[in-house]
Structure 1
């Protein structure tokens, strides 16, 4: 029986075949679950270290990155008032500038896992940028703290972007505390619906989607968005050439 479960455990991060000690779980299983829960809690509360991230972004050659904050003044408020995380702090987007209408605005948001953004956002961009058409005008990146996905709509609108890409830390679980989500929205503006976005989720190699595969999917989504003039359920339904089964996870959720 132990060999049976050992083989299955190699195929999933889920906790299966944990065994029993009397009527309870084994001590090891309880301790491992407690440790995973602690990692998830830490991921939610750990603040984003903005300055090193800005320095990494400068190395991409996209211009001087900016740092902004949402209307949530602290982490406790952010967690209890999602609406404030979707709204920029007063005046911050007024300071964002673009030399003209750009094709793509990129927002790196802490979300519910700063570790995900710190670990995966810049490597993903390094994989994505060479896949874009040479004529694609990419605005200088924006780092947003206490932020949720819809904050990118405000940033994209301020920069006059045709598309906004929000790279954000996803809600941690007991098997992943550093999962990155990438949300793409056509013609961003405040008030965009969740159904008007596409999402590539669970970007966290080696256990999740690798950076190169996620980048190829995002590049294809961007091409489909330009062709269709939209993102969201319409693009998901048919405008994107379907990738190989098992390569990607594409959705339209928040």
Structure 2
């Protein structure tokens, strides 16, 4: 898609099939299955597709996908992995290589977002990029608690931290592109807003992982702080709709981007995968 002076694409960072009950937490299946149809294993398809922003002078990547060779067979089975990352191959379609990425923006460091940051030897997959990560998120990634250690994997650490900038509440890594700390899904979870020539988009990451999670109360069982996710969604989604933002998705297997009607709160425009 084009957004002002920016070109925005999604890259195939892997495809998963996650347990539907886990993806919708307390929401009864009779309700969520009307939005996303589960397979015979009660799984729903969830992409892990990084977002590529091409500006005039910088190439920017949001999150990094599943990587290659990071998951064991058991982990692939548990997450219903159909394929791992084709990020490198997808970049080539735009005449880019991983070395051409200038900035990497991490919404959070869960394995399905961070496994593509480094190879199995810990070497940065995007060696020339400055990596932006919320400070509390980084600290928990390094020292996870009993619950979070299942998704903050030490094998996803790497020498990319030699080119890393931490922030607390908000930062603007590139003119018009801002990261904002929200918490909710994880303590350091962040969203990203993008503005160029009067056009706007937002990536709310995993507090709004798919179009089926539009209702503020519909949060995943993966959310460490679900009431914080609800609080942020309740305030931010109406704000972004009122201000004519596109919503960009990492996990939605059906939609890359959606714009909602400000009156009816229904889908006005959409870009499908």
Normalising by structure 2, we get a TM-score of 0.26
- Structure (1 or 2) with the larger CA radius of gyration: 1
More helix as a share of residues = 1
Normalising by structure 1, we get a TM-score of 0.28
